[in-house]
């Protein structure tokens, strides 16, 4: 059911309906520019900043008085499912036209998808990119049965995980996983939740875009992660489809692979020895171009908008012998001497080993003597 924004009369708004429509048209066109292949090498949220879409939607909200302020507030607070319900109402109020009057359904879908990145920008979300070595390590690792859901602690409330680009077009591969953490005080419920949004192109980058949303109840922090995932009544929303889309085999496989990957990433980020390097390429870029002409200065500023800050997560390389020996997702084979799969588990520590902390156990060579080492 759609949730309307609080109603405000037009009286006192600084722009007319005609001006609001003009601002919506500018924002929509810049959103479509963000889908252009020329920006395809950039992480998804950066594409819409570089195209000017994020700024255009921000200008629309600034120009529309109290309703725009209300929508800016909900962008910072509400789960993604609620935003997808509210955003069409805001557009209809701005344009005084129903969504059915829009000329192309593709435009509507592109615009609705962009609300995710409006929320990401409004909440000052951060980008986290695993190194290829860490991606390989996480792909081979598993989560022990004793790890509780309380160990899932996002380093920031709003973040994007950018999987290794070579995996984007693989089966179940995604270009970005956006996470929005919501404390129980924000959602109005009794437990905290986390919205998870995936963005992928089916069968390669030149085919249909598939955006899925899943709201994850974090629940009792002492319950094992595996139990919570098994019992979760998963519901997802693919772009333009119904909430029961999760019941299809392909979507079920998609979420199984996505949650396995992103939860292991979050667990890795919370362990003591996690390797994280914060690059501030965008923040530190020079913007004072004294002496340059207006045109050249605009070109340089546009180039800067394609830069971005990021957290690089994980080791740069793995030992070649370890990398070659790591088992894949099909499981591991017990032999007399073998590499034990990397995994997350709760490790005893403290007085009389009475406390537990999350530990990441890297690849371990078991019984090297039986390998002649």
DSSP 275-322: -EEEE-TTTTS----TT--HHHHHHHHHHHTT---EEEES-S---HHH
Domain boundary among 100, 122, 144: 122
181 shares a domain with 262: yes
pLDDT tens per residue, range 23-52:
999 999 999 999 888 898 899 999 999 999
For helices 65-77 and 105-122, give the axis angle rounded to 10 degrees.
70
Q: Does the structure show a pLDDT above 70 at 338? A: no
Residue 91 lies in a domain: yes
| φ/ψ (deg, to 5) at 168 | -60, -40
299 located within any domain: no
148, part of any domain: yes
Does 112 share its domain with 136? no
Asked if 175 and 264 sit in the same domain, the reply is yes
* Nearest by Cα to 197 from 107, 123, 262: 262
Looking at the structure, tell me whether residues 25 and 57 fall in a common domain.
yes
Residues 113 and 149 in one domain: no
Residue 248 lies in a domain: yes
Of 105, 122, 139, the position where a domain reaches its end is 122
pLDDT score for 37: 87
Length of the chain, please?
A: 373
User: In 3D, which of 130, 117, 118 has the Cα closest to residue 161?
Assistant: 130
> What confidence tier does 4 reach under pLDDT thresholds 50, 70, 90?
very low
Residues 213 and 136 reside in one and the same domain = yes
Give me the helices (H) in 64-171, please: 65-77, 80-95, 105-122, 132-140
Q: Which residue range(s) make up the domain with 365?
A: 320-371
Instruction: Name the residue with higher pLDDT: 366 or 85.
Output: 85
The pLDDT of residue 71 is above 90: yes
Which among 122, 150, 180 is the end of a domain?
A: 122
Q: Considering only CA atoms, give the Rg of the chain.
A: 23
Q: What is the mean pLDDT of residues 136-156?
A: 90
What's the pTM value of the predicted model, to 2 decimals?
0.81
Mean pLDDT of 233-257: 56
Kindly state whether residues 187 and 243 are assigned to the same domain: yes
> Of residues 314 and 100, which shows the higher confidence score?
314
Please report, in angstroms and rounded to a whole number, the separation of the first and last CA atoms in the chain: 65
Residue with tokens 């109840």: 217
What are the strands of the beta sheet with 126-130, ordered from one edge?
A: 236-238, 209-217, 193-201, 176-182, 158-161, 126-130, 310-313, 276-279
Q: Please, which pLDDT band fits residue 113 given cuts at 50, 70 and 90? A: confident
Say yes or no: 133 and 112 in one domain: no
Residue 154 lies in a domain: yes
Q: Does 63 reside within a domain?
A: yes
Question: How many structural domains compose the chain?
Answer: 3
User: CA of 143: how far to CAs of 43, 60, 97, 136, 227, in Å?
Assistant: 28, 45, 50, 15, 12
Per-residue model confidence (pLDDT) at position 235 = 44
What pLDDT, on a 0 to 100 scale, did the predictor assign at position 240? 36
Please indicate, yes or no, whether residues 142 and 253 belong to a single structural domain of this protein: yes
For residues 43 and 173, membership in a common domain is answered with no
88 & 162 share domain: no
**Tell me, what's the pLDDT at 221?**
84
More confident call, 97 vs 174: 174
Instruction: Show the 3-state SS of 193-254.
Output: EEEEEEEEECCCCCCCEEEEEEEEECCCCCCEHHHHHHHCCCCEEECCCCCEHHHCHHHHHH
Q: Which residues contact 348 (CB under 8 A, 6 or more apart)?
A: 354, 355, 356
Q: Do 82 and 165 lie in a common domain?
A: no
162 neighbors 168 (Cβ within 8 angstroms): no
Q: How many CB atoms lie within 10 A of CB 269?
A: 20
User: Alpha-carbon distance 155 to 261, whole Å?
Assistant: 16
Q: Measure Cα distances from 287 to 279, 283, 297, 300 in Å.
A: 18, 10, 9, 8
CA of 279: how far to CAs of 72, 133, 283, in Å?
28, 18, 9
């Amino acid at each position: 059911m759609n949730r309307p924004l609080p109603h405000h009369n037009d009286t006192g708004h600084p722009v007319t309906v005609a001006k609001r429509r003009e601002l919506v048209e500018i924002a929509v066109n810049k959103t479509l520019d963000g889908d252009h292949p020329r920006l395809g090498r950039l992480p998804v949220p950066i594409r819409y900043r570089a195209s000017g879409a994020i700024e255009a939607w921000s200008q629309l909200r600034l120009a529309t008085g109290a309703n725009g302020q209300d929508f800016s507030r909900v962008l910072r607070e509400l789960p993604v499912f609620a935003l997808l319900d509210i955003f069409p109402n805001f557009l209809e109020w701005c344009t005084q036209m129903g969504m059915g009057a829009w000329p192309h359904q593709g435009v509507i879908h592109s615009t609705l998808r962009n609300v995710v990145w409006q929320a990401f920008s409004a909440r000052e979300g951060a980008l986290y990119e695993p190194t290829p070595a860490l991606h390989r390590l996480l792909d081979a690792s598993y989560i022990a049965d004793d790890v509780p859901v309380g160990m899932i602690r996002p380093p920031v409330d709003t973040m994007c995980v950018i999987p290794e680009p070579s995996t984007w077009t693989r089966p179940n591969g995604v270009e970005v996983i956006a996470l929005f953490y919501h404390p129980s005080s924000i959602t109005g419920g009794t437990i905290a939740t986390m919205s998870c949004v995936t963005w992928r192109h089916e069968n390669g980058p030149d085919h249909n875009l598939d955006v899925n949303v899943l709201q994850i109840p974090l629940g009792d922090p002492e319950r094992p992660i595996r139990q919570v995932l098994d019992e979760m009544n998963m519901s997802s929303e693919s772009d333009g489809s119904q909430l029961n889309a999760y019941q299809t085999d392909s979507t079920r496989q998609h979420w199984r692979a996505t949650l396995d990957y992103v939860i292991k990433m979050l667990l890795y980020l919370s362990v003591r020895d996690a390797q994280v390097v914060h690059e501030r390429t965008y923040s530190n870029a020079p913007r004072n171009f004294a002496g340059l002409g207006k045109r050249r200065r605009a070109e340089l500023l546009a180039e800067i908008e394609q830069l971005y800050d990021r957290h690089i997560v994980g080791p740069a390389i793995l030992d070649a012998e370890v990398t070659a020996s790591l088992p894949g997702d099909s499981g591991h084979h017990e032999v007399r001497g073998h590499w034990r799969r990397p995994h997350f588990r709760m490790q005893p520590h403290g007085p009389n080993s009475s406390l537990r902390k999350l530990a990441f156990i890297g690849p371990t060579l078991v019984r090297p003597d039986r390998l002649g080492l």
